[in-house]
Structure 1
Amino acid sequence: MTVRPPDTPSAQGGAAAPASASPSLAPSSAAPPGVPVMQVIFGLMLAILLGALEQSIVAVVLPEIAMQLNGFEVMAWVISAYLVASTVVTPIYGKLSDLLGRRSVLTFAIALFLLASLACAMAQTMPQLILARILQGLGGGGLISVSQATIADVVPLRERGRYQGYVSGVWAVASMAGPVIGGYLAHYLSWRWIFWINLPLSLLALVVVRRALRHLPAGGRRHRIDYLGALLFGGGLSGLLVFLTRLGQGQAATAPASLALLLAGVLGLALFLWQERRATDPMIPLGMMGVPTVAICCVTLFLCFFQLIAMSVLLPLRFQVVGGAHADTAALRLVPLTLAIPFGAFISGRLMSWSGRYKPLQLVGALVAPVAILALAFVDPRTTWLCALVMSALGLAIGLQLPSALVATQNAVPPSQVGVATALTAFSRMLGGAVGVAVLTTILIALLRHSGVGVAELKGGEDVLMSMFHRAMSGAGDGDAAAVRQAAEQAFRTLFLLSAAASLLSPFLVARLPEAALRGSAGSSAAVAE
């Protein structure tokens, strides 16, 4: 299969529209004729698989890593370090790929990820592992965002939803298979193999990407990279994310270290906004967030992953503490949620290709999600089939929104800014996941401290959760275990109600979303009638 020639923008003569222009006026982007699309997609899906797998494969073996490296007090940072680093650099990769070309930037990201994986596998102390995970996150942040931007280079907008559905499928499979693969590797070989396995996968992705993308433009326009803006953005956002991560681990918001991180983060981002307004070629064009479609889609994606990542963490804990399930059973009970997401994304992509519209799909997903989360608050976690049904509805709702929001964003900007726009959507998703876990875990810890189950004297948030877990699962002291389960269920119910209330923002925003026909569809020169 080869790419079709670029679609001719009707009544616009092919001129690139400014970022604030109507979505229907921006020209379509497509690769030069002769690019092997399926070969490109295969290489990009390998890169996306690497990034998605690394976010889920580590969690299950953390206790064993902490035991061998003698670092229980900092083991949570093995995950947080990767998450913070990858979130911070995602928009920067998008801008650089617009300036320097997708092939060179994606090659750098894969190579850095490969070398960092080698450092992770060879780490002898916990600080060494955390530092290597930071480097791995700096590479991983570019795998997904640049890959999705590259899909925009080789697939016309009308067909793009279908391919984004494939991407969502890879993501869901990696999220579901990651803990299983990690558990088996750690059990039969060593925890180090969860990093060694990245080496052949990274080398294969590197070879395929280099070969498949050689026909794409290498970034021909003159540019001045806004290094100061990138530094201020990375530093400021890192301060805020580390502050939120500390809250999620039970640290006090008024602690001197927490306040210093918060102040540094706010100051860094304030200086970043000042720098971007004066920069000739800003790292993140602030005017892009003034485009209603871009702004609304980024917020809805933030809320989607706020719910998704938090539910992926909290639901297994609820199944174990309240429902009495074992760890392996609790993980398997998440399968309906993880499988429903790519199925919803596949439906969304097909419907977009057929209708050329994205708003109805986003609206349906935004309306169903809060209802499903509300239902989870009142469904008994021991009722397997009813929980599976509600989780499937939530997964479908999220899946409908993922490709439709991404394609709508790419449709709203000129091709020269597709990379940074795509990176903004990836950044919104990752930021939503980081904030969701931190905020909801902090609320859960606070609810448990005030529940009267005897954990108020424990200082660390992880100590609170571990104490609740062990007391609920303990065979001894049935009366105490029952009291812990009851207090935990009330805390989870309150948490889900708050989460459902937060997700109610999405339908109100999507209702105000302007819709234009996707480029390459019939009537693409005119806005779609509401």
Structure 2
Amino acid sequence: MTPQPKPSSGSSPKAGPGEPVDSKDWPSVVDDSATEETPLLRSESSSPAAGSVSSATSEPSQDEDSPDLDTPNQRVSRARGLAIILSVYLLIFLQATNMSGITMAQSTIAADLDSYENAMWFTTAFLVAMSSSTPLVGKLASIFSPRTMVLYSSTLFAAGCFITSQARSFPVFILGRLVTGLGAGGSTALAIVLILELTTKRKRGLFVGLLNAGFTTGVSLGAVLSGALISVTGWRVLFWVQVPPSLIAGLGIHFSIPHTFSSGPGSKDGSLSTKLKRIDYPGALFLTATVVLFLYGLSGTIQVVPLLISLATLIIFVLIEYYVAVDPIIPITVIQNRGAILTCVSQLGFMAARWTVLFYAPITALAVRGFTPATSGSILIPTNLGFGLGGLLVGWLHVRRTGSFWASCITSFILFAASLFALSLASTPDIPISLYIITVFLNGLFAGAALNYTLAHLLHLTLPDTHYIATSLLGTFRGFAGSFGSAIGGGIFSRTLRASLEKGFKSIDGPSGPEDHSELIRKLIGSPALVFNGGLGAKEQTIAVQGYVDGLKVLFQAAVVLSIVVSVVQAATGWKGPGDKAKYRESGSSNALCDQVSEDEE
């Protein structure tokens, strides 16, 4: 028997409307009647509880003329809105530069801390902390005020940067990276919360595009700036210089959000002790353990034991959410929502395929095109420019309503797969560099569009009361993708590269017998810069280039297959949200399904 979800212990009092002003996107001051007990998603939800399946319905799809599309859930003045936009952008930008800048500083840090064999943890520790904290912050934002949560997140980020900059040993450095990741995960989740609350539904997609643009510009500039500054300033400056702006951004958001900004459906008693009692501590523990063990198992060489343990902790977590938790970390409606879970799974595979481009496009420039190490990272500029532009364009031109974006998701996924296939053919020295740049630009364009569409479609598939948790969970799965893509993709690439190099060197062995090229092969696999800067002979260099061409071709074509698979998974999410299904059951019409598809995809 399927366990029935437990109703929420609290009730949601009805909120009064806010004062209308001239600005549609950042309206005037929030209604004075709002309190800590006022529902955070006030205009989107009238359901009694997030855990109730039978009675709750989601917002219907709205056309371009619906007045509700121009009404935000909560209102702030134009000046406060502008301050929030700039502060959120700064936090996301700093997070992205911190994530990508470490790649350029990794060798210097490893030498300074004498930790060459553990250098992979510089990035992995950050990703593990960020991914594990994102769903928890999404839940906490529905219990405590996002106004307070964002201050904690920005402070954690600043503290982590400071600890990292002062580290004199590997354990202290990793501690700093963990604390930084916790702050970064909280900032990402809260940025989505603020977009959902303070923008109109018509402009929501545009602001999601701006958020993605902030992230991708940070990824692009982080590597470039770190590479340019590290030889001048040293690596420590790259971290402590982020402390003041992250604190300023957090304070800017904190003081720009009014005290009356509500924190979601809470209990009748809004005291701190009551809110602390609502937290699902066992669920939080096992969810965090699942994420940490899963990412640990994918870090470096794939480790089966941590992956199996993570599966066990996941099962325990689900059982806790079903049978024990009064207010689950992930509501039962989200766990039982096929569309939400499949969307998260598809995002894991989709972003893993995307990370193959981010990881290996610079290697293509270095080992196949012969770019210098200092300029190889610049190949990411066109793909990240396309990523930001894709999200902005679909947000500005298309995601201007609520409802299904099923066909748009599938179309963008297929176009993304096609661009990966083109990239597998273009990763050779014979293809003009201009054509390669266009290909990576289009890959980023389709990826940015897909991320905006899937978020909009997820909001359609889930109940409004669970939007915070659903979007945070989506962010967690996207966070998995970096480790997932590097572990699986790296294995495919390395095996293909080794096989190609061994075959190539065997073909040039002289009549005196085969030479031992094992040490050269080991170095070429570990350092692509040696292809053009390692003193290789003409024949050896040709074999090395061809080995990288073969490895990249197989890698990107494997990513094509993965993209097609996740396109099928995304298609299985369906186009009908909870409210649509209720209307379909009530209508009893055999044509209701076709009518809904036509209505949603107009």
- Please give the alpha-carbon distance, in whole angstroms, between the structure 1 residues aligned to 2:193 and 2:46: 24
5 Å-filtered alignment, 1:48-197, equals 48-197=92-241
One-letter amino acid of the structure 1 residue matched with residue 134 of structure 2: T
Q: Name the structure 1 match of 2:406.
A: 359
Indicate if the aligned counterparts of 1:39 and 1:212 stay in contact, CA closer than 8 A: yes
One-letter amino acid of the structure 2 residue matched with residue 425 of structure 1: L
- Please give the alpha-carbon distance, in whole angstroms, between the structure 1 residues aligned to 2:186 and 2:480: 15
Q: Describe the SS at the equivalent of 2:142.
A: helix
- Please give the alpha-carbon distance, in whole angstroms, between the structure 2 residues aligned to 1:401 and 1:462: 38
- Please give the alpha-carbon distance, in whole angstroms, between the structure 1 residues aligned to 2:172 and 2:519: 29
Query: Structure 2 vs 1, CA of residues 33 and 146 (structure 1 numbering), >3 Å: closer, same or farther?
Result: closer
Shift of 1:230: 1.1
Asked whether 1:294 is paired with 2:337, we answer no
2:313 aligns with one of 260, 268, 285: 268
Indicate if the aligned counterparts of 2:129 and 2:182 stay in contact, CA closer than 8 A: yes
Shift of 1:284: 1.6
- Please give the alpha-carbon distance, in whole angstroms, between the structure 2 residues aligned to 1:506 and 1:431: 15
Shift of 1:468: 5.2
5 Å-filtered alignment, 1:185-224, equals 185-214=229-258, 215-219=260-264, 221-222=266-267, 223=275, 224=278
Shift of 1:133: 0.7
Tell me whether 27-36 or 404-413 shows the greater mean CA deviation. 27-36
- Please give the alpha-carbon distance, in whole angstroms, between the structure 2 residues aligned to 1:13 and 1:127: 49
Q: Name the structure 2 match of 1:3.
A: 27
Q: Name the structure 1 match of 2:74.
A: 32
Indicate if the aligned counterparts of 2:350 and 2:562 stay in contact, CA closer than 8 A: no
- Please give the alpha-carbon distance, in whole angstroms, between the structure 2 residues aligned to 1:263 and 1:297: 23
Q: Structure 1: any 5+ residue segments left out of the alignment?
A: 248-252, 520-525
Asked whether 1:321 is paired with 2:367, we answer yes
1:25-46 residue CA offsets vs partner (Å, 9 max, x unmatched): 5999944334533332222222
One-letter amino acid of the structure 2 residue matched with residue 85 of structure 1: A
- Please give the alpha-carbon distance, in whole angstroms, between the structure 1 residues aligned to 2:49 and 2:320: 26
Indicate if the aligned counterparts of 1:447 and 1:491 stay in contact, CA closer than 8 A: yes
Indicate if the aligned counterparts of 1:58 and 1:194 stay in contact, CA closer than 8 A: no
1:430-456 residue CA offsets vs partner (Å, 9 max, x unmatched): 112221111101221222333343899
Q: Name the structure 1 match of 2:490.
A: 441
Query: Structure 2 vs 1, CA of residues 136 and 458 (structure 1 numbering), >3 Å: closer, same or farther?
Result: farther
Tell me whether 34-43 or 270-279 shows the greater mean CA deviation. 34-43
One-letter amino acid of the structure 2 residue matched with residue 492 of structure 1: L
Shift of 1:424: 1.1
- Please give the alpha-carbon distance, in whole angstroms, between the structure 1 residues aligned to 2:529 and 2:332: 45
Point out the structure with max Rg over C-alpha: 2
Shift of 1:317: 0.8
Query: Structure 2 vs 1, CA of residues 269 and 458 (structure 1 numbering), >3 Å: closer, same or farther?
Result: farther
Give the alignment's Cα RMSD to 1 decimal. 3.1
Q: Name the structure 1 match of 2:7.
A: none
One-letter amino acid of the structure 1 residue matched with residue 455 of structure 2: L
One-letter amino acid of the structure 1 residue matched with residue 433 of structure 2: T
2:461 aligns with one of 394, 412, 437: 412
Tell me whether 354-363 or 45-54 shows the greater mean CA deviation. 354-363
Q: Describe the SS at the equivalent of 1:124.
A: coil
Matched residue count: 514
Indicate if the aligned counterparts of 1:19 and 1:413 stay in contact, CA closer than 8 A: no
1:278-334 residue CA offsets vs partner (Å, 9 max, x unmatched): 222111224314334423432333233212222111111122112212123321122
Asked whether 1:490 is paired with 2:550, we answer yes
Q: Name the structure 1 match of 2:526.
A: 466
Shift of 1:463: 5.9
One-letter amino acid of the structure 1 residue matched with residue 491 of structure 2: T
Asked whether 1:226 is paired with 2:273, we answer no
Query: Structure 2 vs 1, CA of residues 64 and 443 (structure 1 numbering), >3 Å: closer, same or farther?
Result: same
Shift of 1:529: 4.5
One-letter amino acid of the structure 2 residue matched with residue 3 of structure 1: P
5 Å-filtered alignment, 1:231-246, equals 231-246=285-300
Q: Name the structure 2 match of 1:385.
A: 434
Shift of 1:76: 1.5
- Please give the alpha-carbon distance, in whole angstroms, between the structure 2 residues aligned to 1:355 and 1:32: 18
Query: Structure 2 vs 1, CA of residues 260 and 13 (structure 1 numbering), >3 Å: closer, same or farther?
Result: closer
Q: Name the structure 1 match of 2:416.
A: 369
Shift of 1:177: 0.4
Shift of 1:180: 1.4
One-letter amino acid of the structure 2 residue matched with residue 33 of structure 1: R
Shift of 1:518: 13
- Please give the alpha-carbon distance, in whole angstroms, between the structure 1 residues aligned to 2:517 and 2:447: 36
Asked whether 1:422 is paired with 2:466, we answer no
Tell me whether 195-204 or 508-517 shows the greater mean CA deviation. 508-517
Query: Structure 2 vs 1, CA of residues 468 and 337 (structure 1 numbering), >3 Å: closer, same or farther?
Result: closer
Query: Structure 2 vs 1, CA of residues 457 and 240 (structure 1 numbering), >3 Å: closer, same or farther?
Result: farther
Indicate if the aligned counterparts of 2:347 and 2:477 stay in contact, CA closer than 8 A: yes
Q: Structure 2: any 5+ residue segments left out of the alignment?
A: 1-22, 32-40, 62-67, 268-274, 506-515, 580-594
Q: Describe the SS at the equivalent of 2:235.
A: coil
1:344 aligns with one of 384, 390, 393: 390
Shift of 1:464: 6.2
1:23-72 residue CA offsets vs partner (Å, 9 max, x unmatched): 43599994433453333222222222222221111110111111112111
- Please give the alpha-carbon distance, in whole angstroms, between the structure 2 residues aligned to 1:118 and 1:7: 39
Query: Structure 2 vs 1, CA of residues 328 and 472 (structure 1 numbering), >3 Å: closer, same or farther?
Result: closer
Shift of 1:380: 4.2
- Please give the alpha-carbon distance, in whole angstroms, between the structure 1 residues aligned to 2:334 and 2:519: 46
Q: Name the structure 2 match of 1:523.
A: none
- Please give the alpha-carbon distance, in whole angstroms, between the structure 2 residues aligned to 1:467 and 1:402: 33
Q: Name the structure 2 match of 1:522.
A: none
- Please give the alpha-carbon distance, in whole angstroms, between the structure 2 residues aligned to 1:15 and 1:268: 31
Q: Name the structure 1 match of 2:567.
A: 507
- Please give the alpha-carbon distance, in whole angstroms, between the structure 2 residues aligned to 1:138 and 1:7: 29
Shift of 1:517: 9.7
